[in-house]
A = this chain, B = another copy of it.
Amino acid sequence: MSNYIAIDIGGTQIRAGLYPPDGLIPITLERTPTRHPSSTPLERLINLIASIWPADNEIACIGAAAPGPIDPRSGIIHEAPNMQGWINMPLRKHLEDRFHVPVALGNDANLAAMGEWRYGAGKGHHDLVYLTVSTGIGGGIIIDDQLMVGANGLAAELGHVTVLPGGPMCGCGLRGHLEAVASGPAMAHWAEQELQRGVISSLLPGPGLTAKAISSAASAGDSLAIAVLARSGTFIGRAIADYLHIFNPSIVIIGGGVSQAGSLLMDPMRIAMQENVLSPHYTENLILTTAALGDEAGLMGALALARSRSLETKTSPSIAN
Contact = CB atoms under 8 A, between A and B. Distances in A.
Interface of A: 69, 78, 125-127, 143-144, 146, 148-158, 160-165, 172, 174, 238, 241-242, 245-250, 276, 278-279, 281-282, 285
Given A127-B151, A144-B146, A246 B157 contact: yes
Contact of A248 (B153, B163, B172, B247): B153
Contact of A160 (B144, B149, B163, B245): B245
Closest 7 CB pairs of A and B: A150-B248, A155-B248, A151-B250, A157-B245, A154-B248, A161-B242, A127-B151
Contacts of A146: 143-144, 146
Contacts of A250: 151
A162 B281 contact: no
19 contacts: A69-B279, A125-B151, A127-B151, A143-B148, A144-B146, A144-B149, A150-B247, A151-B248, A151-B250, A151-B285, A153-B248, A154-B245, A154-B279, A157-B278, A158-B245, A161-B246, A162-B238, A162-B241, A162-B242
Q: Is the interface of A mostly helix, strand, loop or mixed?
A: loop
A266 to B, nearest CB: 21
A247 B278 contact: no
Given A146-B146, A150-B248, A161-B245, 18 more contacts: A69-B279, A69-B281, A127-B150, A127-B151, A144-B146, A144-B148, A148-B247, A151-B285, A152-B248, A155-B245, A155-B248, A158-B246, A160-B278, A161-B242, A162-B276, A164-B165, A172-B278, A172-B279
A246 B156 contact: yes
Contacts of A238: 162, 165
Given A154-B282, A174-B278, A248 B149 contact: yes
A130 to B, nearest CB: 13
Nearest to A249: B151
